[in-house]
Amino acid sequence: MSRTDERVPNQDQTIVFIPEGDIDATFEPADGLGDNAEPDLKERIREGIPPKKKPPESDLYRYTKKEEEFLFTDDVPEKLEDVKRVMEERAGFNASFDAIARDMTYGGKPTSLYYLNGFVKDEVLTMIMSRLSMLPGNTLNTEAVRKLFDQYIPHIQVDKLDTMTEIIGKVLGGGSALFIEGERSALVMDVKSLPQRGTDEPSVEKVVRGSRDGFIETLLTNVTLLRRRLKDPRLKLETMQVGRRTRTDVCIAYIQDIADVSLVKAIKTKIEALDIDGLAMADKELQEAIIDRGWNPFPIVRYTERPDVAAYHLLEGHVCLFVDTSPSVIILPSTFFHHVQHAEEYRQTPFVGTYLRWVRFFGVFASIFLLPLWFLFVLKPELRPMVFTFIGPQETGRIPILAQFLIVEVGVDMMRLAAIHTPTPLASAMGLIAAILIGDIAIKAGLFVNEVILYMAVAAIGMFATPSYELALANRLVRIALLVAVALFGIPGFAVGTVLIMLMLITQRSHHTPYMWPFIPFDGKAMLDIILRRPFPTQKFRMTLTKPQDRTRMAAKLGLKKK
């Protein structure tokens, strides 16, 4: 910049920018003061005493006409010196240590190469530069950009761009821009190498049988894993950028002749309409931005980190959203029953898969209703059937039962959070200390009842057996709400609370799709698929939930190709 600034000490930490030069010549009173400004204002500034009123933003900094020309221009300047000023003003190439500008002469033409050091794949860029350095003199005297693009740059990903906005966007995304003296366009080479981890199996979606790869934080790797499973030419992967500052890449994946066209258009319209700074938290912020559900605790979309699960849902007519820097893929639309299914059920025989599904359903039911029902039987012993006369504590603890439940609930959450933040070698020891020592001592001291710890452990196991982590946390909040309702109102509290929860689920929609489908509205065939894990040859048609264009999954007889 053509001006410097001085920071005037201020006890209130207010920073006043004073232009370089004489204060009397450059200082202008703040708006609203005019001639009524205090007469000793300039003396106060000279003495380091802050003024009583901070000048408006318009007086803090002013661009010169030349600076504004470089800052807001979108045409590629012909002179490399002007290109340098544009890159400095708009991309920070004079302030960021990782922003590199390399000036060299190729084929008799001065050139400038701009790139971010951490993104560049050194060996590829060095090879390109070595090839260009061997060009004889006067080779690029005419039509330099066209010759480099068509003949002399041996790289598969090269674009010729004419606007600075596109060029700077590519450079900040990891590309390398080559400017040539006297040319009104530039060549952008994609020679980036993004830092990434291995495609290891997701920790929350493990299976005994099946693939061990999983999505990572790199968008290109994720879509490659998907392409490996779906070689359909009608698989579409459309990308767009979201966020004025982050410019996060978002990919919409769908199969063109299966997915509902109106669903795809609605999702694309919502994403294109976003006017935000960025998506620092990636997929979660995108989900909340396009599907605003307020304070509803239940998950509206399904997340997965498994490529096979994403491919399966695409074949069903769903739409998947990939967000760069996130290993989780958003699946739309999704229902409550999508969150209680797991890939392991489809890796076993139909009978075993059905059994595992029922066990999982029981775990989800227990995580919600086991503790409120036991608490209700304790408060109202006359409700207990004869076969359940053993239910209820033989001795009461020093703490009320409701308080015991709430303390244990918070304790389990504290254990879970501590396990996340504890190094892996110490996590097991931490769990043993919390579960055995603290629980055992609390019971022996008479603070807690044995049955409270027992049923809380069963409910916690049911919560951890829920495939969807988001649904498990929502179920925990529902369980706590039912416990409080039973403690306050007894039977009416349990009944009304259950009805309100069901109404919340029934009225909820996931992108215009009933959340409790196929239970409400009822669809018999689809409900049978929820209850049973049917053999693959019997799954001849896609579900109606996604309104697929092509409902047929296989021929009438397995093994016969459709002609």
- Residue 172 near residue 140 (C-beta atoms within 8 A): no
Q: Dig out the tokens for 515 from the structure.
A: 């959340």
What span, in angstroms and rounded, lies between the C-alpha atoms of 65 and 25?
19
Contact between 228 and 222 under an 8 Å Cβ cutoff? The reply is: no
Residue 533 lies in a domain: no
Question: pLDDT category, 427, cuts 50, 70, 90?
Answer: low
Is 55 part of a structural domain of the chain? Answer: no
Domain boundary among 134, 168, 189: 189
Instruction: Kindly indicate the confidence band of residue 399, based on its pLDDT and cuts at 50, 70 and 90.
Output: confident
Contact 291, 192 (CB under 8 A): no
Residue 9 has pLDDT above 60, yes or no: no
**pLDDT over 80 at 51, yes or no:** no
Least confident of 88-92, 466-470, 559-563: 559-563
Q: What's this model's pTM, rounded to 2 decimal places?
A: 0.81
pLDDT at 49 over 90: no
Residues 311 and 354 in one domain: no
pLDDT at 556: 60
Asked if residue 162 is part of any domain, the answer here is yes
Contact criterion met (CB below 8 Å) for 42 and 49: no
Q: What's the length of the chain?
A: 563
113's enclosing H/E stretch is strand 109-116
Q: Which of 60-69, 362-371, 502-511 has the lowest mean pLDDT?
A: 60-69
541 found inside a domain: no
| 71 is a domain residue | yes
**Radius of gyration for the chain, computed over Cα atoms and rounded to the nearest angstrom:** 32
pLDDT exceeds cutoff 60 at 104: yes
- Whether 50 is covered by a domain: the verdict is no
Strand partners, 304: 329
8 Å CB contact between 193 and 121:
yes
Residue 158 pairs in a beta bridge with: 189
Is the same domain home to 291 and 236?
yes
Structure letter (DSSP) for residue 514: B
Q: Please list the residues that pair with 236 across neighbouring strands.
A: 254
Same domain, 134 and 273: no
Distance CA 447, CA 112 (A): 74
In a domain, 180, yes or no: yes
Residues 364 and 507 in one domain: yes
Q: Given a cut of 70, is residue 563 above it in pLDDT?
A: no
| Residue 312 Ramachandran class (φ > 0 left, ψ -120 to 50 alpha, else beta) | alpha
Reply yes or no on whether the pLDDT at 46 is more than 70: no
Arithmetic mean of pLDDT, 125-136: 90
Q: Are residues 365 and 482 in the same domain?
A: yes
pLDDT, residue 203, reads 87
The CA-CA-CA angle for residues 15, 20, 21, to 5°, reads 130
Mean pLDDT of the region 441-453 = 80
Map residue 456 onto helix, strand or coil: helix
Sign of CA dihedral 146, 148, 154, 158: negative
pLDDT of amino acid 40: 53
Residues 313 and 358 grouped into a single domain: no
Say what percent of the chain tops pLDDT 70: 83
Both 305 and 354 in a single domain? no
Verify that 274 and 366 share a domain, yes or no.
no
Q: Among 106-110, 421-425, 538-542, which stretch is predicted with the lowest mean pLDDT? A: 421-425
What is the C-alpha to C-alpha distance for residues 526 and 546, in angstroms, rounded to an integer? 12
Contact 256, 549 (CB under 8 A): no
With 90 as the cut, is the pLDDT of residue 193 above it? no
Does residue 104 sit in the same domain as residue 181? yes
Query: Where are the strands (E) in 458-528, listed by range?
Result: none
pLDDT at 123: 87
pLDDT at 251 over 90: yes
pLDDT over 70 at 432, yes or no? no
Among 305, 334, 363, the domain-final residue is 334
Q: Is the pLDDT of residue 37 over 50?
A: no
What does the alpha-carbon distance between residue 260 and residue 541 come to, in Å, rounded to a whole number? Answer: 15
140 and 183 both lie in a single domain? yes
Q: Spell out the long-range contacts of 266-273 with Cβ–Cβ below 8 A and sequence spacing 24 or more.
A: 266/511, 266/512, 267/319, 267/321, 267/332, 267/511, 268/238, 268/240, 271/240, 271/242, 272/240
Per the structure, the count of domains in the chain is 3
Pair 358, 503 in one domain:
yes
Residue 473 sits in which domain range? 350-395+449-514
CA distance 110 to 499: 75
Residue 234: inside a domain, yes or no? yes
Which pLDDT value is given to residue 64? Answer: 67
Based on the fold, state whether residues 358 and 481 are members of the same structural domain.
yes
Residue among 192, 188, 191, 211 nearest 201 (CA):
211
